[in-house]
Structure 1
Amino acid sequence: MPADTTSGRAVGFLLDLIDSTAADRVRARVGLSRPVPEDLREAGRRISQGLPALPSSVVLWMLQEDDPDLNAVVWRLLSDRDTALRRAVLDGVPFGPGRLLAVEVDPDLRDNYAEPPVPHRVARIGLVAALRESASMAAAREATSMVYLREHWQTVAEADRENSLPGYVRWALSVRPDCPPSLRAQFGSHRKFDFRVRRAGILDGPAGYALDHGPARDVLKVLSLGHMMFPRRVAEAEDALRPLVRDHLGDREEAWAVLAQLLDSFHGTTGELVRTAGAIA
């Protein structure tokens, strides 16, 4: 099993959570070579083209690195609907907690892409008025595309406290990965609201993603690139999985061989995969 295959990278991520000597022995048993070090630029195409659909929160973790090279990768992951995030990247908006200085913009983005124009309605009547007049999802998306600076989010929170914003606006903002959790909570919670947020891929953090998201193969494929995609937060996923891996797989070569065999066809979470492989072995 080459280390640069999807399965190889996924198993390799979990192997890095146990003792290195035991991990080398398991690699020999399952035919997994050691991964070749690569930098972000080398992996950029694989990140933008070879990954499964990413939960929105993973994109936010990448933006929180405030890295121009990584932001250029994020740009290629964004869709045409992600107008606000594209504005933020081109404006050098910082996402890291507590960071105030602007982020340098990748030269290719700066030279080849213009910031989307301000929607006519927002320019004419102002942001808050445009939000309040949004009577459809299309209108809400257009108006909320201008919400991307920290002061914008503060303005939205104050306007909503004064008089609740339309449901379409709250929906459009709540499924954004950069929506502050406090504002999402302020918007309220009910079954349909929670479902929309979950469907958009809004996660509590890398630990929950590692343990409770699926299928395991896709999650581990993303986490195996975590040290390049979101290095400041990947340790949260590792810390969540480490006790599980050590308890159910440890240095047992047969258990790791079962895991490698199950991985491609397993539809459950990573936690379920690890427990199942351990139980079978």
Structure 2
Amino acid sequence: MRQNSTVEQAVGSLLGLVDGETAERVRARTGLPSPERPKATAERLRRAWTWATHLPASVALWILENDDPELNAVVWRYISTDSGLRRAIARGVPFGPGRAGTIPVDRTLPGAEDEIPESYVRHGLVGSLREVDSMAAGRAAASMVLTRADWQTVGEADAVHPLPGYARWALSVRPDCPPLVREPFGSHAKFRHRLRQAGVYDSPAEYVMSEGPAIRVLEVLAMGHVLFPNRVQEAENALRPLVREHLGDREEAWAVLAQLVESFHGNVPELVVTAGAIA
């Protein structure tokens, strides 16, 4: 079963945003294959996720929102620095909106949760966060914030008396930190920049419009209907007007895009605009 190359996936993810007739003409002009069959995409997910070497934290969260134990076990390998998400996966904590209780934990989960921090044992959830005096201590304490009830407790505690800066920072870069909890932690440009560096985005739309390089984002988007089916439309809706304006039914512009995408260092909007301008 043939799997499309990285470039073919990337361009194909954008071709899906125009009408079928235009897409077919572009494929004929550029030699691009037909869209990858669902079975081929599913097979790709069972292999090494070479595209996920730099998996943004928020993309990992959107995948976890499927509450699919098998997918969770795969994502585990790519979130080695996020003890909180790993702990939640190991305990069967659901990530899907509105889901309660616990979900099964895949028996192939390649590891176990990190050791419970001593400060948590001694002081509890809020107490351990208030004891934080370094980034390492902040990450350790934040790793015990797992459920929606935990996040609510943390938000209420911070509202009564602000948590230490390191604790706030460790909590804010957790992709599952609710917006209402994160909002009081900061909103200035430097704070937002730090979130981006940590791979935290407000939505799939923000991710595809700002993250780079473009080919890495488009490779993720190409599998979005499998990886995060409930959120992928947000990303597509953000890109669709841009694609139609700058590429549209111009076959030459699509050909330029296919030539540029593999080595282009900018984000997706910059790639689309550049290809349209060159053509």
Give the TM-score of the pair, scaled to structure 2: 0.92
Report what 1:87 is aligned to.
87
- Per the alignment, do residues 116 and 97 of structure 1 end up closer, same or farther by CA in structure 2, a change over 3 Å counting? same
The residue correspondences of 1:33-44 to structure 2 (distance < 5 A) are 33-34=33-34, 35-38=36-39, 42-44=43-45
Please tell me whether the aligned partners of residues 255 and 278 of structure 1 are also in contact (alpha carbons under 8 angstroms): yes
Report what 1:32 is aligned to.
32
Q: CA deviation digits over 1:82-128, x for unaligned, max 9?
A: 1111111111111111111422221212xx64443322221122222
**Secondary structure at 2:38 match in 1:** coil
The whole-number CA distance in structure 2 between the counterparts of 1:47 and 1:224 is 16
Please tell me whether the aligned partners of residues 10 and 222 of structure 2 are also in contact (alpha carbons under 8 angstroms): yes
The residue correspondences of 1:207-218 to structure 2 (distance < 5 A) are 207-218=205-216
Report what 1:182 is aligned to.
180
- In structure 2, list runs of 5 or more residues that go unmatched: none
Please tell me whether the aligned partners of residues 264 and 271 of structure 2 are also in contact (alpha carbons under 8 angstroms): yes
- Per the alignment, do residues 232 and 39 of structure 1 end up closer, same or farther by CA in structure 2, a change over 3 Å counting? farther
Report what 1:67 is aligned to.
68
Q: Percent identity?
A: 59
**Secondary structure at 1:108 match in 2:** coil
- In structure 1, list runs of 5 or more residues that go unmatched: none
Report what 1:273 is aligned to.
271
Hey, which bits of structure 1, 4+ residues long, moved more than 4 A?
A: none
The whole-number CA distance in structure 1 between the counterparts of 2:157 and 2:222 is 41
- Per the alignment, do residues 104 and 69 of structure 1 end up closer, same or farther by CA in structure 2, a change over 3 Å counting? same
Report what 2:155 is aligned to.
157
Please state how far the C-alpha of 1:271 moved relative to its aligned partner. 1.3
Corresponding letter in the other structure for 1:48: W
Corresponding letter in the other structure for 1:151: A
- Per the alignment, do residues 195 and 270 of structure 1 end up closer, same or farther by CA in structure 2, a change over 3 Å counting? closer
- Per the alignment, do residues 59 and 259 of structure 1 end up closer, same or farther by CA in structure 2, a change over 3 Å counting? same
**Secondary structure at 1:28 match in 2:** helix
- How many residues are matched? 277
**Equivalent residue in structure 1 for 2:246, among 232, 245, 248:** 248
Report what 1:50 is aligned to.
51
Q: CA deviation digits over 1:248-276, x for unaligned, max 9?
A: 21222111101111112222221121122
Matched, 1:13 2:13: yes
**Secondary structure at 2:261 match in 1:** helix
Report what 1:23 is aligned to.
23
- Per the alignment, do residues 173 and 271 of structure 1 end up closer, same or farther by CA in structure 2, a change over 3 Å counting? same
Please tell me whether the aligned partners of residues 132 and 166 of structure 1 are also in contact (alpha carbons under 8 angstroms): yes
The whole-number CA distance in structure 1 between the counterparts of 2:118 and 2:265 is 46
Please state how far the C-alpha of 1:74 moved relative to its aligned partner. 1.2
Please state how far the C-alpha of 1:41 moved relative to its aligned partner. 5.3
Of 33-42 and 231-240, the range deviating more from structure 2:
33-42
The whole-number CA distance in structure 2 between the counterparts of 1:136 and 1:253 is 55
Q: CA deviation digits over 1:44-88, x for unaligned, max 9?
A: 255633335122111111111212222122112111x31111111
**Secondary structure at 2:233 match in 1:** helix
Please state how far the C-alpha of 1:43 moved relative to its aligned partner. 2.0
The whole-number CA distance in structure 2 between the counterparts of 1:23 and 1:194 is 37
Give the TM-score of the pair, scaled to structure 1: 0.91
The whole-number CA distance in structure 1 between the counterparts of 2:217 and 2:40 is 21
Matched, 1:107 2:88: no
Please tell me whether the aligned partners of residues 3 and 33 of structure 1 are also in contact (alpha carbons under 8 angstroms): no
Query: What do you get for the CA RMSD once the two structures are aligned?
Result: 2.0
Please tell me whether the aligned partners of residues 47 and 73 of structure 1 are also in contact (alpha carbons under 8 angstroms): no
